[in-house]
């Protein structure tokens, strides 16, 4: 019920539209009911052979009225259907926008806890199912109107027969209801299985290179085939129930009608009922079955939609862990220093990743962070743009706690280049300018030149307008890296974070990238992680991190003698190069 209310709350802005639709539903129901009243005179007077002149008059009138009624009914149906779909789609559009907006604003932690495929399935499948819910709810209103319209008609026509029929209908409704309930469980199950299939396919496709490299096509195929088969089985369970429900309902219906026939026939034979009255009654009763059947279908859709809605709302309710404080201010331009003071951080409760971190980065400095893999270097850097919030301690920029600043204003002053270069399926220009469409091409070109990217760009098929394919698959690692450096150069941030920016590259492209990075670092404040020795050696300060703790801070020469860990890391890198 809560969920239903919440879905309906999305309909609020479209109240007038919906009420208009409901009005036209009522017109449709009324026309249907009224047409039943034409049957009695048709049979009793129209087909009366005793008075042919009068009979033709009647038939003519009835024919005209039928045409008129069905014209009104048709127009009303069109208006109602148009309005309903229009509102339904608008509501879904709103929900999808809200959901995606929410997803974009969720903190990084959410994405490491939840599978991409599942999040995608929320935005696509589940939202579409919710659309059915919205349509179904309005469907219920319409069908109920039809139902009550015909119900009133049958009672007005012959309350005795009607009461008898109602008992018959109740007998039919119960099995329909119980079929519906069983279907509900199955449909929830099959929704989950579809989600599984999406998830497996998403993983298999986005990791296709690894799949091929390990010759695991067959393995991936089996994973999907299994989920596929499992969905098939569940679906067939539903089919068995649905396929059975139709004939059973019909059979019970016919059974009830046969009883009516006998009772009605008896009344006709002793003169208490005219043929026309009986035909009209029977027809109205038949019409009564339609809304019942449709309501059953609606019921199934609603059950499906409710479980989807639940998942969508779950996503909508997942809190934004890192967010701006209500009084957040725009960060002034960076002037003096960044400092971490007694910073502690854990991704998972009771499992500290960073312990009591103290470090200062002065404006214009290059500070290198070195340490074994998993020691927390990337985490340390991720805390500065507030990708995650620290558990205790404070991070300050120019002696002000960064929590006071609007996140976007901090991030605007930080450029990040990481090992995984993240590109969009857009043109080269679009990727360098990311999101800033009004930037002139010359500026983009200058950034690309500084990033040693201009040469390969103009050699590619359409120059700056070349589409680079999803996640940049049409480029080499070094080219991708230089594009993200160009992006950082164009952004021109005072603070720079380089997280293993060259470690995935071969020596040849590393040189080009390294050269580009040098230009990028000029007159900026840089935090550089596990980089080329040359950069580390000339860093103003080197921070040696191990298991989340700072083990030593100093310059290269000092550390070589003072820090055995640094010496070891240095020797390992030295050997590798």
Residues that bind ligand ADP (CB under 6 A): 112, 347-348, 353, 371, 373-379
Among residues 231 and 345, whose Cβ is nearest to ligand ADP?
A: 345
Rounded distance between C-alpha atoms, residue 512 and residue 502, angstroms: 10
Least distance between Mg ion and beta carbon 375 (Å): 9
Q: What is the DSSP letter of 376?
A: S
> Residue 467 pairs with which residues in a beta bridge?
427
Residue 374 contact partner, candidates ligand ADP, Mg ion, none, CB within 5 to 8 A by sort of partner: ligand ADP
Least distance between ligand ADP and beta carbon 379 (Å): 3
Q: Which residue has the tokens 């680079």?
A: 468
Among residues 24 and 388, whose Cβ is nearest to Mg ion?
A: 388
Least distance between Mg ion and beta carbon 353 (Å): 11
Among residues 40 and 377, whose Cβ is nearest to ligand ADP?
A: 377
- Listed ranges 278-286, 292-300, 377-385, 435-443: which one lies at the site for Mg ion (CB under 5 A): 377-385
Q: Taking CA 249 as the corner, what is the angle to CA 248 and CA 253, rounded to the nearest 5 degrees?
A: 115
- Listed ranges 195-203, 370-378, 474-482, 509-517: which one lies at the site for Mg ion (CB under 5 A): 370-378
- Listed ranges 84-92, 160-168, 372-380, 555-563: which one lies at the site for Mg ion (CB under 5 A): 372-380
Among residues 68 and 374, whose Cβ is nearest to Mg ion?
A: 374
Residue 112 contact partner, candidates Mg ion, ligand ADP, none, CB within 5 to 8 A by sort of partner: ligand ADP
Q: Taking CA 114 as the corner, what is the angle to CA 112 and CA 117, rounded to the nearest 5 degrees?
A: 115
Among residues 132 and 378, whose Cβ is nearest to Mg ion?
A: 378
Contacts 24+ apart (CB under 8 A), 432-440: 432/483, 432/486, 432/487, 432/490, 433/487, 433/490, 434/487, 439/490
Q: Structure tokens of 438?
A: 């009004």
Least distance between ligand ADP and beta carbon 535 (Å): 17
CB closest to Mg ion, residue no = 378
Residue 53 contact partner, candidates ligand ADP, Mg ion, none, CB within 5 to 8 A by sort of partner: none
Among residues 304 and 378, whose Cβ is nearest to Mg ion?
A: 378
Among residues 471 and 547, whose Cβ is nearest to ligand ADP?
A: 547
Residue 564 contact partner, candidates Mg ion, ligand ADP, none, CB within 5 to 8 A by sort of partner: none
Least distance between ligand ADP and beta carbon 500 (Å): 8
Least distance between ligand ADP and beta carbon 16 (Å): 47
Q: What is the dihedral of CA 120, 121, 127, 132, to 10 degrees?
A: 160
Q: Taking CA 260 as the corner, what is the angle to CA 142 and CA 299, rounded to the nearest 5 degrees?
A: 30
- Ramachandran angles phi, psi of 343, nearest 5°: -80, 130
Q: Structure tokens of 355?
A: 């312990």
- Ramachandran angles phi, psi of 527, nearest 5°: -105, 120
- Listed ranges 69-77, 327-335, 374-382, 486-494: which one lies at the site for Mg ion (CB under 5 A): 374-382
- Listed ranges 115-123, 150-158, 261-269, 373-381: which one lies at the site for Mg ion (CB under 5 A): 373-381
Among residues 95 and 353, whose Cβ is nearest to ligand ADP?
A: 353
Least distance between ligand ADP and beta carbon 109 (Å): 7
Residue 213 contact partner, candidates ligand ADP, Mg ion, none, CB within 5 to 8 A by sort of partner: none
Kindly calculate the radius of gyration of the chain based on its CA atoms and give it in whole angstroms: 36
Least distance between Mg ion and beta carbon 530 (Å): 7
Rounded distance between C-alpha atoms, residue 466 and residue 464, angstroms: 6
Q: Is the distance from CB of 32 to CB of 150 less than 8 angstroms?
A: yes
Least distance between ligand ADP and beta carbon 476 (Å): 24
Rounded distance between C-alpha atoms, residue 569 and residue 559, angstroms: 11
Task: Give the CA distances from residue 128 to residues 86, 101, 121, 271, 306, in Å, rounded to whole numbers and listed in that order.
Answer: 14, 17, 10, 56, 12
Residue 421 interacts with Mg ion (CB under 5 A): yes or no? no
Residue 378 interacts with Mg ion (CB under 5 A): yes or no? yes
Among residues 6 and 355, whose Cβ is nearest to Mg ion?
A: 355
Least distance between ligand ADP and beta carbon 510 (Å): 19
Q: Structure tokens of 532?
A: 């080329």
Residue 146 interacts with Mg ion (CB under 5 A): yes or no? no
Burial of residue 85, with CB atoms counted within 10 A of its CB: 0-12 exposed, 13-18 middle, 19 or more buried: middle
Q: Structure tokens of 390?
A: 């620290």
Q: Structure tokens of 164?
A: 């008898």
Among residues 353 and 359, whose Cβ is nearest to ligand ADP?
A: 353
Q: Is the distance from CB of 270 to CB of 211 less than 8 angstroms?
A: no
Q: Helices 159-206 and 275-317 sit at what angle, rounded to 10 degrees? A: 30
Can you give the binding site for Mg ion, defined by CB under 5 A?
378
């Amino acid at each position: 019920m809560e969920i239903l209310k919440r879905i309906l709350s999305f309909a609020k802005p479209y109240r007038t539209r919906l009420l208009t639709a409901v009005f036209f539903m009522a017109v449709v129901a009324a026309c249907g009911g009224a047409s039943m009243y034409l049957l009695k005179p048709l049979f009793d007077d129209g087909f009366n052979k005793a008075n042919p002149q009068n009979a033709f008059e009647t038939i003519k009138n009835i024919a005209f009225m039928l045409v008129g009624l069905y014209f009104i009914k048709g127009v009303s149906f069109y208006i109602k259907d148009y309005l309903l779909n229009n509102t339904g789609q608008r509501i879904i559009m709103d929900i999808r926008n809200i959901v995606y907006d929410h997803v974009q604003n969720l903190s990084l932690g959410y994405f490491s806890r939840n599978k991409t495929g599942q999040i995608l399935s929320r935005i696509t499948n589940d939202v579409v199912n919710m659309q059915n819910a919205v349509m179904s709810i309005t469907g219920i209103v319409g069908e109920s109107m039809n139902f009550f319209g015909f119900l009133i008609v049958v009672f007005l026509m012959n309350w005795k027969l009607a009461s008898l029929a109602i008992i018959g209908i109740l007998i039919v409704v119960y099995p329909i209801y119980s079929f519906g309930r069983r279907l509900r469980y199955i449909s929830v199950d099959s929704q989950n299985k579809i989600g599984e299939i999406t998830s497996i396919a998403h993983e298999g496709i986005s990791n296709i290179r690894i799949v091929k490299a390990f010759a695991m096509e067959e393995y991936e195929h089996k994973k999907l085939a299994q989920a596929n088969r499992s969905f098939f089985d569940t679906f067939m369970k539903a089919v068995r129930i649905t396929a059975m429900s139709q004939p059973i309902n019909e059979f019970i219906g016919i059974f009830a009608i046969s009883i009516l026939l006998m009772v009605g026939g008896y009344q006709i034979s002793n003169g208490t009922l005219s043929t026309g009255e009986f035909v009209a009654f029977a027809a109205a009763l038949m019409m009564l079955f339609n809304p019942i059947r449709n309501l059953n279908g609606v019921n199934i859709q609603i059950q499906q939609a409710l479980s989807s809605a639940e998942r969508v709302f779950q996503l909508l309710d997942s809190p934004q862990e890192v967010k701006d404080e209500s009084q957040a201010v725009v960060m002034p331009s960076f002037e003096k220093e960044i400092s971490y003071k007694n910073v502690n951080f854990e991704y998972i409760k009771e499992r500290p990743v960073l312990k009591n971190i103290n470090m200062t980065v002065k404006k214009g400095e290059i500070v290198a962070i070195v340490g074994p893999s998993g020691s927390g270097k990337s985490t340390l850097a991720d805390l500065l743009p507030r990708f995650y919030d620290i558990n205790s301690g404070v991070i300050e920029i120019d002696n002000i706690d960064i929590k006071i600043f609007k996140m976007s204003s901090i991030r605007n002053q930080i450029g990040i280049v990481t090992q995984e270069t993240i590109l969009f399926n857009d043109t080269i220009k679009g990727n360098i300018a990311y999101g800033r469409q009004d930037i002139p091409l010359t500026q983009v070109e200058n950034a690309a030149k500084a990033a040693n990217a201009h040469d390969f760009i103009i050699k590619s098929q359409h120059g700056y307008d070349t589409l680079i394919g999803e996640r940049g698959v049409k480029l080499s690692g070094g080219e991708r890296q230089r594009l993200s450096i160009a992006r950082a150069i164009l952004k021109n941030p005072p603070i720079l974070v380089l997280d293993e920016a060259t470690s995935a590259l071969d020596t040849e492209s590393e040189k080009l990238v390294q050269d580009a990075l040098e230009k990028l670092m000029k007159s900026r404040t840089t935090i550089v992680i596990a980089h080329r020795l040359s950069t580390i050696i000339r860093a103003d300060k080197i921070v040696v991190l191990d298991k989340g703790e700072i083990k030593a801070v100093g310059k290269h020469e000092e550390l070589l003698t003072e820090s055995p860990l640094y010496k070891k890391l240095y020797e390992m890198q030295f050997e590798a190069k």
